[in-house]
Structure 1
Amino acid sequence: MARALEDIEKEVLSLDTKGKNELLKSLISDLDNEVDINVEKLWLQEAQIRYSDLKSGKIKSIPASEALAFARSNLNK
């Protein structure tokens, strides 16, 4: 594996600036997509937990106006 990476690195370093730029954009885009998928999965899990807790009575909901008032008062502190 290390050898393959060395070969890839040599190839990349031989690219002109435009080629390196295009490759870098592609790699960053690929990483961004992977992160987005993981974040989306985590938020879905969190939503499912919160919904389950609400349905079981473990937590109670409050009106949006009350939640916003609470948030605003904490921002002013």
Structure 2
Amino acid sequence: MGLIAFLIVGGIAGWLASIFMNKSQGILMNIVVGIVGAYIGGFLGGAIGLTATGFVGSIVMATIGAVILLWVLGKVRT
């Protein structure tokens, strides 16, 4: 995946995760959360036998990982 596509997927996934988790954050933080979420989602998806194919599949997997990341961070901070 190209760098621009990677940043776009990360931004969209982070933005969606922030909406699902009701967290307000800036675009740069959305991209970071989305990229880290993509790694988490890819790892967990691979562990249970799921693979993300295509643009939409990548966004879904990254969003799931980003939601998990935001949930864990919320638990750690409290």
Shorter-chain TM-score range? 0.3 to 0.5
Higher relative contact order (CA 8 A, sep 6+): 2
